[in-house]
Amino acid sequence: MDGQILRAEYSDIMQKSFIDYAMSVIISRALPDVRDGLKPVQRRTLYDMYELGIRYDRPYRKCARIVGDTMGKYHPHGDASIYEALVVMAQEFKKGMALVDGHGNFGSIEGDGAAAMRYTEARLQKITQEAFLADLDKDVVDFGPNFDETEKEPSVLPVRIPNLLVNGSDGIAVGMVTSIPPHNLGEVIDATKAMIRNNTLTTHDLMKYVAGPDFPTGGIVVNQNELETIYETGQGKIRLRGKVEVEKCKGGKERLVITEIPYTMMGANIGKFLNDVAALIETKKTTDIVDISNQSSKAGIRIVLELKKGADVERLKKLLYKKTRLEDTFGVNMLAVADGRPETLGLRQILEYHIDFLFEVTTRKYRNMLDKEQKKCEVQEGLIRACDVIDLIIEILRGSRSREQVKECLVNGVTDGIRFKSERSRKSVAKLRFTEPQANAILDMRLYKLIGLEIDVLQKEHEETLKNIARYTDILNHYDSMAAVIVKELDHYKREFGRPRRTVLENAEEIVLEEQKVEEMPVVFLMDRFGYVRTIDETIYERNREAADAENRFVLHCLNTDRVCVFTDRGKVHLLKVLDVPYGRFRDKGTPLDNLCNYNSSEENFVAVMALNDIRDTVLTFVTRQAMAKQVEGKEFDVVLKRTIAATKLQDGDLVVAVHAASEQAHVVLATEKGFFLRFPVSELPLKKKTAVGVRGMKLSEQDAVEAVYWLEGDRSTEVTYEGRTIHLNRLRIGSRDSKGTKQSR
């Protein structure tokens, strides 16, 4: 086959491909549809369960069967995503209303994962079957081909409740994210009914019905006044708090019991909360807590904090809200697919879209039912007429040779080839003119239908059919009639499946925590060569001075209110509050520096540790492997808002070798890997800002680098060993900055 080369700009192809991919993820994977509130994987899973007949009143079926069937027919994106969606729809602590009835281990609120799908079973919930999947046989929604065009799947489920609000949604697409909180079913239904009756209602009016989100974990929303703006714009932040109760114990003691948690604290964050409380105790932020226990079970959340006698309960509550995730923020971004495109929607817009969808589904349902009743009416009228001329019809049947001949006679009055008893009968037949469906019904009619009682039943059925036609026509032709039908259904769902609100709404002031004044005292900061840090009392240090100096790389005398500066070879300085460092016994192991600040032991190494109070009024000298050097005033590192800042600027591939607070009279000695030593006064180094690179302190030969830096202060003699030879640094000739230095031979 002849080929043709098409030339195109690579960037244009990449841009188009990325846009196509992004829209596919947005529409087909990550975002829910505003009409049914479901993502494609959720919709396909529920529809597959419906097709498999896994109803709420039938036995459970293995989740592996459901996942496999869904993947094979509708969602070819791997079993993990399907099973995860199935599990989430069964978890009542994640959804405002579970859509799947799970049997087996479907995980827990504390973050435990569900069992493998070969062990768990599931079936549809009653509300899912009644409000999500009913009437699919009545052509209420459009169906389209599946991925390989071997099956048909609904483009949207005929959901009768505003599921997007009831269950909420969260998902990450390409360049956008959706985060919709769950709401109370009864409240949302009331708002929907109010909008149906009066579509001019504002967001303020609707909030008389939908007071705010209703999280399955309960909790307290503490910024109620901001909710109207959030529901108007579809974006904002909801502040959540857990519910804390005070219980009296024996001996006059009290305990704090957390019975409800913020929605955002589910899963692993419960464990993190317990760790945060333990950290408050370790860092002496509170001394009122004597024990922590997590007594949560299937019955609900119960986290118990045992308090010492006379504990300040109110201050402790404020401390928990301020320093842990017991108060957290839920970011709202009500993004959904509307009319085929992603759109950020407010409360009113979501309800408008859903009400339009309700009327569309109801219209299609009753149009389908009206069509069936009209066809039924036509057949009934034919049968009633046939009963009145039954003798003539029997005569036609006896005189005909085939079914088609009888049918032609009944419909078109064709009598050719049919034997009649008289010419009068032949003329009467020409006037019958039944329709084709009526003729087929007459031919299929059984003889017992000619009994008098059966004829009465037929006439009563016909009267009922006429009533249905009149009712369906009225519903289709009048807004109020259709609205009444929809409202009646909504009332049924509220009565059958509604439940009381779980989340409390209120306006609370920002927590103001008055820090307890710490008694200032001298301590000794110890840091070993592995980066484990701790502080001990000065008297303990004095008793163990020799062991402490031998076992630790850095030993600093400082105040417990001071901060420690950890300088690293990557040109950073991490500022660490001494109060954050564990205080204890001499033989305690301590805590890794990584856990207390932004230091990363896998990417950087510490080169110097100093107390901020000691360097604030001094000048620090920096030297790097590429022999760049400078002096920086110590007060530049006294910052309040940040815990990690740049200590110096480095060239590509360079590392800090030494940081030292040297006096102006001191000398510095630079030693290189190839054995060059250069001694010069520190005063020759210029004073620079911490963001500067510095100046060259020494000329390096090719492939050489500064390996060590030594400081000579006063008359103190300093000796080092280089390749087995002792070098007296005080005897080195004093050179000048930016010279090559002296080669030390073996």
**pLDDT tens-place string over residues 46-92:** 999 999 999 999 999 999 999 999 999 999 888 999 999 999 999 99
The domains of the chain, with CATH numbers, are: 31-159 (3.90.199.10), 243-325 (3.30.1360.40), 363-495 (1.10.268.10), 522-743 (2.120.10.90)
* Residue 299: per-residue pLDDT: 80
CB 253, CB 307: distance < 8 Å = yes
DSSP 507: B
Kindly report the CA angle at 166 between 164 and 170, in degrees rounded to 5?
Answer: 50
Q: Which of 251, 412, 222, 225 shows the shortest CA–CA distance to 321?
A: 222
Q: Which of 106, 93, 100 shows the shortest CA–CA distance to 125?
A: 100
Residue 720, strand partner residues:
727
Q: What is the pLDDT of the chain when averaged over all its residues?
A: 88
Element housing 294 (H / E): strand 289-294
pLDDT-derived band at 517 (thresholds 50, 70, 90) equals low
> Which two structure tokens, joined as six digits, stand for 37?
């509130």
**Cα 460 → chain centroid:** 58
Q: Could you identify the residue written with the tokens 């094979």? A: 72
* Residue 249: per-residue pLDDT: 84
Find the range with the poorest average confidence among 420-429, 472-481, 733-742.
Answer: 420-429
Whether the predicted model's global pTM rises above the 0.75 cut: no
- Amino acid identity of 39? K
**Ramachandran class of 319: left when φ > 0, alpha when ψ lies in -120 to 50, beta otherwise:** alpha
- 3-class state of residue 142 by DSSP: coil
**pLDDT tens-place string over residues 167-206:** 999 887 766 788 999 999 999 999 999 999 999 999 999 9
- Top-confidence residue, 422 or 350: 350
- 3-class state of residue 302 by DSSP: coil
Is 722 assigned a catalytic role? no
Q: What's the average model confidence in pLDDT over 669-695? A: 91
pLDDT at 472 over 80: yes
User: What sections of 91-139 are H helices per DSSP?
Assistant: 126-131
Find the range with the poorest average confidence among 116-125, 542-551, 578-587.
Answer: 578-587
d(CA 370, CA 384) in angstroms, rounded, equals 21
Task: Print burial letters for 660-684: b (CB count within 10 Å at least 16), e (below 16).
Answer: bbbeeebbbbbbbeebbbbbbbbeb
* Residue 513: per-residue pLDDT: 65
CB 575, CB 597: distance < 8 Å = yes
Find the range with the poorest average confidence among 23-37, 53-67, 155-169, 427-441.
Answer: 23-37
Task: Give, in order, the Cα–Cα distances in Å from 285 to each of 89, 280, 308, 598, 603.
Answer: 41, 5, 15, 21, 31
> Which two structure tokens, joined as six digits, stand for 208?
């008389």
CB 238, CB 181: distance < 8 Å = yes
Task: Give, in order, the Cα–Cα distances in Å from 98 to each of 129, 169, 418, 622.
Answer: 12, 13, 67, 62
The residues, ordered by sequence, that sit 6+ positions from 119 with a Cβ below 8 Å of its Cβ are 104, 105
d(CA 660, CA 529) in angstroms, rounded, equals 18
d(CA 365, CA 650) in angstroms, rounded, equals 72
The residues, ordered by sequence, that sit 6+ positions from 50 with a Cβ below 8 Å of its Cβ are 124, 129, 133, 136
What's the alpha-carbon Rg for the chain, to the nearest Å?
41
Element housing 557 (H / E): strand 554-559
d(CA 20, CA 719) in angstroms, rounded, equals 69
d(CA 334, CA 238) in angstroms, rounded, equals 13
Task: Print burial letters for 105-132: b (CB count within 10 Å at least 16), e (below 16).
Answer: ebbbbeeeebeebeebbbbbbebbbbbb
pLDDT-derived band at 629 (thresholds 50, 70, 90) equals very high
Q: Out of 119, 209, 448, 479, which one is annotated catalytic? A: 119
pLDDT at 284 over 80: no
User: What sections of 77-226 are H helices per DSSP?
Assistant: 79-90, 126-131, 163-166, 185-197, 203-206
pLDDT at 141 over 60: yes
Q: Which of 479, 469, 470 shows the shortest CA–CA distance to 359?
A: 479
